[in-house]
Amino acid sequence: MTVSALIIDDSPFARKIIRHHLTKLGFHVEGEAETAAEGLRLFRELKPKLVTLDVMMPEREGIDSLAAFRTIRKEIPETAIVVVSAVPFEKTRDTFLSEGATAYVIKPFSQFSFEPVWQKLQRAFPAWTA
Amino acid sequence: MNADSHDMANDGSIDRKAVQDLRNEGGNLLSDLVDMFIHEVPGQLAALEAALAKGDAGAARLTAHTLKGTGANFGASRMQALANAIEEKARNGSLEGASATLVELRAECARVRDDLKAVR
């Protein structure tokens, strides 16, 4: 089963690396956005099953990462959202996880940091492993 | 973290294992990331310099954060530490001394670039 994915991250390095690992795992990366606002627009257009969302991005059009996250959760709650962050702040992590993020990954994003997330996604979405 | 006293795990500016891990991923990943570093980082440094000149702590914090993340991909510890030092100053709303740190960061980014060119 090919699972569609959207990457929202202001760092071109992060987007490149995340795309590489998701593609290697069999995801189809349908889009990339470098702001939360652009990410939200692409989310509504593409309706991906998985979104990776960077925590710390410049706010544009009044939308930051948390606002985009909450909108995605509200509009299509079954979307898997992997929050990617360079900041290991417990409060930030707890906020996203308590509001329904599937996982919270600390950068740099790598095969090793994503492995436990992939296992979690497989448990949450068994069809993805078919 | 005190950037000046940061304990380097390597004698170079980048972590050889981190780079090897990227190389092991195959394709053009490492090469593409090195190209990206060469083309993106000068603009990020210029943006940081402009933010500091304007006293714009918010912009300085975000740009320093981006540079820290860029360095993290290659295990560039000193680059990360220097960028983090500026990010923390900006987060605390005091940019005093940040311009001097930027001079060090610019030099360190040049070292990282040269080391990446050598291992690509």
Give pLDDT tens digits for B22-76: 999 888 999 999 999 999 999 999 999 999 999 999 999 999 999 999 999 999 9
Tell me what the mean pLDDT of segment A21-49 comes to. 95
Q: Which of A10, A13, A24 sits opposite B36 (nearest CB)?
A: A13
Q: Rounded to a whole number, what is the distance in Å from the CA of B75 to chain A's nearest CA?
A: 9
* pLDDT of amino acid B9: 44
Delimit the domains of chain B by residue range. Answer: 12-20+27-119
- The ranges assigned to domains in chain A are 48-130
Q: What's the pLDDT band for B11 if we cut at 50, 70, 90?
A: low
The alpha carbon of A74 is separated from its chain's Cα centroid by a whole number of angstroms, namely: 15
In this predicted structure, the answer to whether residue B3 has a pLDDT above a threshold of 60 is no
Share of chain A above pLDDT 90, in %: 62
**How is residue B23 written in tokens?**
């190389």
A11 contacts in B (CB within 8 Å)?
Answer: 66, 69-70
Q: Cβ separation of B66 and A11 shorter than 8 Å?
A: yes
Relative orientation angle of helices B77-91 and B57-72, to the nearest 10 degrees: 160
**Gyration radius from chain A CA atoms:** 13
Q: What is the pLDDT of residue A129?
A: 63
- Say how many residues make up chain A: 130
pLDDT of res. A58: 76
* pLDDT, mean of residues A41-50: 97
CATH classification number, B12-20+27-119, choose in 1.10.3720.10, 3.30.70.100, 1.10.1840.10, 1.20.120.160: 1.20.120.160
Are residues B25 and A16, on separate chains, in Cβ contact within 8 Å?
A: no
Residue range B17-22: average pLDDT?
A: 91
Topology of domain A48-130, CATH: Rossmann fold (3.40.50)
Mean pLDDT of chain B: 90
pLDDT score of B1 more than 50: no
Candidates B46, B57, B48; CA nearest to B95 is: B57
